[in-house]
Structure 1
Amino acid sequence: MAGRTRPFSGFEWMIAWRYLRAKRAEGGVSVMTWISLIGITLAVAALIITMAVRAGFRSEFVDTILGANAHVTIYQTIEVSETGQTSRVITDYEAMAARVREVPGVTRAAPLVKGQVMASLGNRNAGVEVFGISQEDLLTIPRIANPDQFRGDVTRLDDGVAIGWGVAQELGAEVGDKVKLISPNGVKTPFGTTPRVNVYEVTYIFQAGRYDIDRTRVYLPFAEAQSYFNREGGADELEVMVEDPDRVDEMATALLMAGGDRTLLWTWRDASGAFLSALQIEDTVMFVLMSVLVLIASLNIISGLVMLVKNKGRDIGILRTMGLTEGAVLRVFFLCGALVGLVGTAAGVVLGCLFAIYFDPILAFVNGASGGEVWDASIRGIYRLPAELQLGDVISAVALSLGLSFVITIFPARRAARMNPVEALRYE
């Protein structure tokens, strides 16, 4: 009758459960069981936390790129005039922008004038990059129009300049202060080019979420920038935003045709692709390294089960003489190991998800306890380290943990199933 018992029947679960909770004096290995359980819990939690933090960093980094920079920059090849002067200035920028806006998937095409100058306030100076843009176009840049922090009024760009948070800190500037912009390429005179010095009121201070942007960027009204940089009637480039930035490469041909013969493209992937590729490789390496921790924790199940099989040799012999099959014995000890892996994985998922969900207050506590900033924006580029739970990452962690736990459990379970009942009872 035992041979006809269905696999994983009630009595097999009962025996496995009794063995797991048996005290050491009764031949159990409760201490080893707890060590295996805690090890798997911590390993799975660490794997989920690591993947959540990596996903959050990647998401925040890409969002700051796409939220404050052009998805595609359109500029032109160098043109040589009859006098031998070279220029990339786009003279028909309005017509070009109109053609680009008609490309399917394009949400905005704005002409820009760009230049690097010195900003000065009092005795403090800072090198900045000026973006000449219209107020209407500035309002369509998410990370500038709706930043993490701001002071002033973004709609007053025509009355002055908008500066990044880092620029304001470097200069000690506040809204309403007068900032000097000093350009070495100023007014041309018979005696040469003299520097151009203009004074502008700070009307808006923004924090875009990226240290390098906030530390260097200044927005100037488009018409004023044309005059300041000697670009009357022209623009340096077109700043293009698209609906789906991930498909920007597929739109390259249409954008080139809309731009004209001398058009060149520079996408956000060209600017940050190498860093994003490095992040992808780092994510893979981190997953492999953390998977080794899960494997090491799962190996504790083997040591616990080996000790359990050794201590329960007499019980195995009695069960076999009563008619229990090798398969039933294998399933009993498989359940012992699998239950440890299952419970440890479930606890690890709960712990890891809770840590990821409350990652911000935990990081704030660590900052307070350490007495300093654990996360330095000047080194890492973004101001905060978020954690983003993704279902696929959690499923991967669960599948890895359960898979290793189940596979590893089979080996000591097979040893128990193949134990000769005669040898097991010989000295009893």
Structure 2
Amino acid sequence: MIAWRYLRARRAEGGVSVMTWISLIGIALGVMALIVTLAVRAGFRTEFVDTILGSNAHVAVSRATWVDENGVSSRAIPEAGRLAETVRAIPGVTRAAPIIRGQAMATLNDRSNVAEVYGISLDDLKTIPRVAGSDEALGDIERFGEGMAIGVGIARDLGVGIGDRVKLIQPSGAKTAFGTSPRVNAYEVVYIFSAGRWDIDRTRIYLPYEEAQSFFNREAGADEIEVYVADPEAIDSYGPALYEAGGDGTILWTWRDSSGAFLNALDIEDDVMFLILALVVMIAALNITSGLVMLVKNKGRDIGILRTMGLTEGSVLRVFFLCGAFTGVIGTLAGVVLGCVIALNIDAIMSAINWMTGGGAWDPSIRGIYRLPAELRAWDLGRAVGLSLLLSFLVTIFPARRAARMNPVEALRYE
């Protein structure tokens, strides 16, 4: 009761209420910034990993270079179908498909772009979540055997629509008596997809498996086996079984190998951002100390009277500790509410900022994904709340102990 009364002190009593409001607002803003930053970082990582796992193999099984009976070096997998069946039998493997990979120049009219071409069967293409399950897809994936599937980014660069015929040019094409001549084939665009990743949408094209074999001279076999697993985070645990299935010369390339450095950089950046914003919360919490020091000075007469009436040092300490704790708790709760509201509406907020800045606030070509997601996690909320409350409680101890040790005689001498 005493602590709550002191918190509602009037301006005539030393402006303590103003300092209290400053401390409360500072803590609320610090906690809000911490929660929003952690939510955005978590959402960005989740979205980025999801685009990797949803449109790329969790692990690619390939072969080291070997020499056939004609003395020709090759990295092809001759019995790719049999190997894919063996890999599918491994517990935890959800899909294994032989694929052909190559690069080609895609052209339409006077526009051209370099494309990464994947040869795959229709049944296997339909199991790729970010391709077959694209919300922004155009065309009919069931017609894949009649043409090609193309990313929305490269389709936009070439000005391609459903039904257009795109030329693919491959320099190492047909082998003739006069040398190797470029191979040029035209394919109808039957499906346009968006994988959610700027770099994938801008470069990827899918061709039917047999057509890709012919186009890239891969009749000897597949380039690799594309493997999806039930638990991508534990991809390393599948290594021994995959090596055993592939035999000698097997090479594994996991999604962590291709994106691990970037994800590690994100983790380091998360820790640094948390420390920086923790300092912001600490600075806001130190305002509680300033307010309590002023409060103790203004309430010296009250402390002396309460002590002479029998109030113990511990009781006085609790009074002023509760004054600071109330400020920290209320500020933290306000910050949590504000942070959650902003995090849950971050997409709309970024869209508004993008509109006001003419589309320059979020560049997919730099960040890889098309939007700024946010993911509220209990662990992040707990860290933010725990840090704020801990700092708020710690900074109240010094002025509260100072008040508790005040000599009542000295406090009342000049009253």
Q: TM-score band (shorter)?
A: over 0.9
TM-score for the superposition, normalised by structure 2: 0.99
Query: How do residues 16-415 of structure 1 correspond to structure 2 at under 5 angstroms?
Result: 16-27=3-14, 29-415=16-402
Counterpart CA distance in 2 for 1:120 and 1:61 is 30
Paired residue type of 1:46: A
Counterpart CA distance in 2 for 1:257 and 1:82 is 25
Query: Deviations along 1:327-384, whole A, 9 cap, x unmatched?
Result: 1100000000000000000000000001111111111111122232311000111111
Higher mean C-alpha displacement, 31-40 vs 18-27 = 18-27
1:91 aligns to what SS in structure 2?
coil
Paired residue type of 1:318: I
Could you tell me how far 1:148 is from its partner in structure 2? 3.6
Could you tell me how far 1:24 is from its partner in structure 2? 2.0
Paired residue type of 2:174: V
Counterpart CA distance in 2 for 1:229 and 1:370 is 45
TM-score for the superposition, normalised by structure 1: 0.96
In structure 2, stretches of 5+ residues that fail to align are none
Query: Deviations along 1:74-104, whole A, 9 cap, x unmatched?
Result: 0000012355431101101011111101100
Counterpart CA distance in 2 for 1:298 and 1:24 is 22
Counterpart CA distance in 2 for 1:257 and 1:348 is 54
Give the aligned partner of residue 11 of structure 1: none
Paired residue type of 2:384: A
Give the aligned partner of residue 7 of structure 1: none
Counterpart CA distance in 2 for 1:233 and 1:274 is 34
1:128 aligns to what SS in structure 2?
strand
Query: Deviations along 1:34-82, whole A, 9 cap, x unmatched?
Result: 0000000000000000000000000000000000000010000001235
Paired residue type of 1:322: M
Query: Deviations along 1:197-241, whole A, 9 cap, x unmatched?
Result: 000000011110001100110000001111111112511000000
Identity %: 67
Query: Deviations along 1:249-282, whole A, 9 cap, x unmatched?
Result: 0010001101111211000011111111111111
CA contact (8 A) 1:27 1:312 kept: no
Counterpart CA distance in 2 for 1:248 and 1:399 is 33
CA contact (8 A) 2:76 2:220 kept: no
1:149 aligns to what SS in structure 2?
coil
In structure 1, stretches of 5+ residues that fail to align are 1-13
Give the aligned partner of residue 5 of structure 1: none
2:160 aligns to what SS in structure 1?
coil
1:118 aligns to what SS in structure 2?
strand
Cα root mean square deviation, aligned: 0.9
Higher mean C-alpha displacement, 126-135 vs 20-29 = 20-29
CA contact (8 A) 1:40 1:348 kept: yes
